[in-house]
């Protein structure tokens, strides 16, 4: 991965680039978490950052090692969270957008342009933006955001495990694994399950 896209934007006169990605669209439990990172034209891919990839291509340990390095290397980082009740109320796509807006709104430093992972632009924001399909796989700054989002969400789910230990959220992070489905069969949904998702949408 390189900074070709980002350098192209800097050469067009943009000073601060924001990159956004989310983690947790697919799970049956817990929040969707978005992360925004902001870089300027002085940002370089140091040897410490060369392992950056889409978060899904890294192990949990690799992501945890990269997490503080990314935070130290960029101009600003924020996350936005949308919980399971909000997801049930407005649907997962709209909740993903809301979590992205929340991350952006928390930023003291405001980007001139945003690169967002996926095929949709974020509605209800005035900042210039570009949606990039497979952005977390192609664009370095989005890959950094994907790691921040994933590690942040995993941490939240580990905390949820302490609250609801029967469901083993520390192991599957809310995804529909065999273990998780077995726990749902045994105990039914808990307060952080997404009741609008299958299998729950069949029983409410």
Residue 28 has pLDDT above 60, yes or no: yes
What pLDDT score does 15 carry?
Answer: 98
Report the number of distinct structural domains present in the chain.
Answer: 1
Residue 204 has pLDDT above 60, yes or no: no
pTM exceeds 0.85 for this model: yes
What pLDDT score does 131 carry?
Answer: 98
CB-side neighbour CA atoms (13 Å) of 159: 8
pLDDT single digits (tens) 40-79: 999 999 999 999 987 888 999 999 999 999 999 999 999 9
Domain range spanning residue 134? Answer: 4-202
Report yes or no: 182 and 199 within 8 Å, Cβ to Cβ.
no
Partners of 35 in beta bridges: 21, 79
CA nearest neighbour of 28 among 202, 179, 173: 173
- Integer angstrom CA distances of residue 20 from 47, 73, 90, 97, 139: 23, 16, 20, 10, 11
The domain spanning residue 156 has which CATH number? 3.30.420.10
Contact residues for 187 (Cβ-Cβ < 8 A; gap 6+): 166, 167
| Element of type H or E holding 79 | strand 76-82
CB atoms within 10 A of CB 90: 15
């Amino acid at each position: 991965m390189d900074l070709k896209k980002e350098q192209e934007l800097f050469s067009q006169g943009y000073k601060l680039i924001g990159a956004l990605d989310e983690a947790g669209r697919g799970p049956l439990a817990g929040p969707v978490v978005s992360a925004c990172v902001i870089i300027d034209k002085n940002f370089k891919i140091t040897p410490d950052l060369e392992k950056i990839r889409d978060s899904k291509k890294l192990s949990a340990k690799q992501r945890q090692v990269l997490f503080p390095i990314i935070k130290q290397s960029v101009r600003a980082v924020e996350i936005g969270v949308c919980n399971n009740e909000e997801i049930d109320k407005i649907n997962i796509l709209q909740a993903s957008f809301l979590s992205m807006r929340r991350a952006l709104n928390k930023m003291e430093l405001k980007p001139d342009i945003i690169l967002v992972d996926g095929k949709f632009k974020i509605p209800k924001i005035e900042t210039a933006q570009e949606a990039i399909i497979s952005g977390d796989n192609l664009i370095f700054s989005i890959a950094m955001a994907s790691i921040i989002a994933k590690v942040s969400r995993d941490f939240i789910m580990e905390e949820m495990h302490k609250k609801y230990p029967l469901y083993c959220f520390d192991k599957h992070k809310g995804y529909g694994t065999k273990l998780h489905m077995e726990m749902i069969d045994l105990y039914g949904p808990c307060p952080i399950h997404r009741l609008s998702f299958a299998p729950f949408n069949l029983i409410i």
